[in-house]
C-alpha cells in the first residue's frame, strides 16, 4: 500500500519509531529497538483515526521526527530477508526445509574447517597474513559455496561476480559486520564493504590462487578465508534470516554462536510491515497506555494483525 510514513527517533538511546495511516484509516505506531543482531520490532500500537500521528510522536513518545516519506509499505523482495521481518519467516521467504538443512550443513562444514585452522593460527595482525595449503583449500571451498548462494538468485548470465553484484539493488550487504567471538584479539569482518564502487579483494585472491597457485599462493591468507566464510554467513542471513541461524538449537547455530558475533549496524534498509487493528467485540479496546510523561493513549485496538508482505 502507498502511504505517508513518518520516521522518528528517541532523543537518547537507540529506540526509533515508524508511524503511518493504514487503509482502514487507523494510526499504526511501530516501536523499533536494536535487539540482538539487528533492528527489531519491540511493540506495535494501533489506534483509531481520532489521533494525529505527529502529536502522538511529540507528546506521548517524545521522539524527534526525522523524516517523512510517501512510500509503499508491506512489500518484500523474493527470497530476501531484511530487518523487521519477524513473523511467518518460513512462509514469507518460501523456505524449503530440506534446502535450509543443506544450507546449514554446508555452513557448518566451513566453520568447522575454520575452527581447525584457528587452533594453530591466532587471528592477530601477523596471523591474519599467514597462508597455507589448508587455507587455500578453505578459501576455494568458501568462495565456491558463495557462488552457489548467488546463483540461486539467477542474476544476469549467472556466471561471474559482476552478475551477482545485482543483489545490491535488492539488499544492502555493506551493513553486515561480523566479529570473532571468544578471542583476545579484536577482529571484525565487513566482506561486502565498498562492493558498489570497487572489487572484493578476498574474492579476487580466491580467483588468483585458484588459477595460478604458484604465483598467488601467498594470497590464500587467514584474513581472506575469514572474509569468505563471513560472506557465506551474510548470504545465509539474507536468504533464511538471522533468526533461523541464531534462535535454533542445532549444530550450525551452536557453531555460529561460539565463533561469530553477527550485527547489522546503522541499518536503514528494512521492510515495513502493515498492521491492522480489530475489536474482539464492538467497543472493546485494550487498557489505555500511559507513557512515562503522563500522556495517555486510549481506544487502542485489542487485536492487531500483521498482513502478509506482497512480493515485488
| Residue 82 domain-assigned (yes or no) | no
Same domain? 301 vs 239: no
Please state the rounded mean pLDDT for residues 12-21: 89
Is residue 238 situated within a structural domain?
A: yes
Among 76-80, 100-104, 166-170, 297-301, the least confident range: 297-301
pTM (2 d.p.): 0.92
Q: Are residues 224 and 155 in the same domain?
A: yes
Question: Does one domain contain both 35 and 102?
Answer: no
Residue 174 lies in a domain: yes
Looking at residue 312, what is its pLDDT? 87
Residues 115-148 pLDDT 10s: 999 999 999 999 999 999 999 999 999 999 999 9
Cβ-based neighbour number of residue 211 at 10 Å: 9
Cα 149 from Cα 233, distance rounded (Å):
11
Same domain, yes or no, for 235 and 276? no
Establish if 195 belongs to a structural domain.
Answer: yes
Q: Which DSSP helix (H) or strand (E) runs through 249? A: none
Say if residue 110 is in the same domain as residue 221.
yes
- Quick one: pLDDT at residue 289? 85
- Write out the three cell numbers for 205: 585472491
Over residues 153-179, the pLDDT tens digits come to 998 888 888 899 999 999 999 999 999
In a domain? residue 27 = yes
Give the other-Cβ count within 10 Å of 112's Cβ. 13
**Contact at 8 Å (CB) between 148 and 295?**
no
Same domain as 218, residue 105 = yes
| Claim to verify: residue 61 and residue 135 sit in the same structural domain | no
**Which DSSP symbol is given to 292?**
T
**Distance, CA of 151 to CA of 139 (rounded, Å):** 18
Q: Are residues 290 and 229 in the same domain?
A: no
Neighbours of 207 (CB within 10 A): 16
107 plus 213 within the same structural domain? yes
250 and 280 part of one domain: no
CB atoms within 10 A of CB 224: 28
Residue 265 pLDDT more than 90?
no
Most confidently predicted of 67-71, 267-271, 287-291, 296-300: 67-71
Q: Tell me the residue range of the domain where 189 lies.
A: 89-264
Q: Give the tens place of pLDDT for each residue, 179-235.
A: 998 777 788 899 999 999 999 999 999 999 999 988 999 999 999 999 999 999 999
Q: How far is CA 254 from CA 182, 245, 262, in A?
A: 13, 9, 13
Q: Are 228 and 209 in contact (CB under 8 A)?
A: no
250 in any annotated domain: yes
Beta bridge partners of 131: 221
**Residues 15 and 60 placed together within one structural domain of the fold:** yes
pLDDT band at 8 (very low <50, low <70, confident <90, very high): very high
Looking at the structure, tell me whether residues 260 and 224 fall in a common domain: yes
**Residue at 152 is within a domain:** yes
Q: How many domains does the chain have?
A: 2
Q: Can you tell me the mean pLDDT for 7-19?
A: 89
13 in the Ramachandran plot: left (φ > 0), alpha (ψ -120 to 50) or beta? left
Residue 90's pLDDT band, with cuts at 50, 70 and 90, is very high
pLDDT of res. 149: 96
Residue 83 lies in a domain: no
Of residues 57, 61, 15, the one with CA closest to residue 34: 15
Amino acid at each position: 500500500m502507498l502511504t505517508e510514513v513518518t520516521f522518528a527517533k528517541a532523543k537518547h538511546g537507540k529506540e526509533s519509531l515508524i508511524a503511518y495511516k493504514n487503509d482502514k484509516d487507523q494510526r499504526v505506531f511501530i516501536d523499533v529497538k536494536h535487539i540482538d543482531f539487528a533492528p527489531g520490532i519491540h511493540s506495535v500500537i494501533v489506534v483509531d483515526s481520532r489521533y494525529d500521528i505527529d502529536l502522538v510522536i511529540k507528546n506521548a513518545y517524545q521522539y524527534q521526527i526525522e523524516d517523512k516519506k510517501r512510500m509503499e509499505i508491506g512489500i518484500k523482495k523474493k527470497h530476501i530477508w531484511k530487518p523487521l521481518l519477524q513473523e511467518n519467516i518460513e512462509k514469507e521467504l518460501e523456505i524449503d526445509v530440506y534446502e535450509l538443512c543443506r544450507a546449514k550443513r554446508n555452513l557448518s562444514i566451513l566453520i568447522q574447517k575454520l575452527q581447525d585452522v584457528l587452533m594453530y593460527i591466532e587471528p592477530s595482525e601477523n596471523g591474519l597474513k599467514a597462508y597455507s595449503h589448508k587455507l587455500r583449500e578453505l578459501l576455494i571451498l568458501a568462495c565456491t559455496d558463495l557462488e552457489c548462494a548467488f546463483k540461486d538468485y539467477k542474476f544476469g548470465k549467472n556466471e561471474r561476480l559482476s552478475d551477482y553484484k545485482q543483489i545490491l539493488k535488492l539488499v544492502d550487504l555493506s551493513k553486515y559486520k561480523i566479529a570473532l567471538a571468544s578471542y583476545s584479539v579484536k577482529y571484525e569482518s565487513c566482506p561486502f564493504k565498498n562492493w558498489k564502487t570497487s572489487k572484493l579483494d578476498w574474492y579476487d585472491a580466491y580467483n588468483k590462487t585458484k588459477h595460478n597457485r604458484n604465483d598467488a599462493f601467498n594470497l590464500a591468507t587467514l584474513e581472506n578465508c575469514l572474509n569468505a566464510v563471513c560472506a557465506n554467513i551474510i548470504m545465509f542471513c539474507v536468504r533464511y534470516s538471522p533468526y533461523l541461524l541464531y534462535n535454533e538449537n542445532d549444530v550450525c547455530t551452536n557453531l555460529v554462536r561460539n565463533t561469530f558475533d553477527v550485527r547489522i549496524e546503522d541499518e536503514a534498509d528494512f521492510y515495513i510491515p502493515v498492521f491492522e487493528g480489530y475489536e474482539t467485540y464492538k467497543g472493546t479496546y485494550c487498557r489505555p497506555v500511559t507513557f512515562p510523561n503522563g500522556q495517555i493513549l486510549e481506544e487502542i485496538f485489542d487485536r492487531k494483525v500483521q498482513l502478509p508482505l506482497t512480493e515485488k
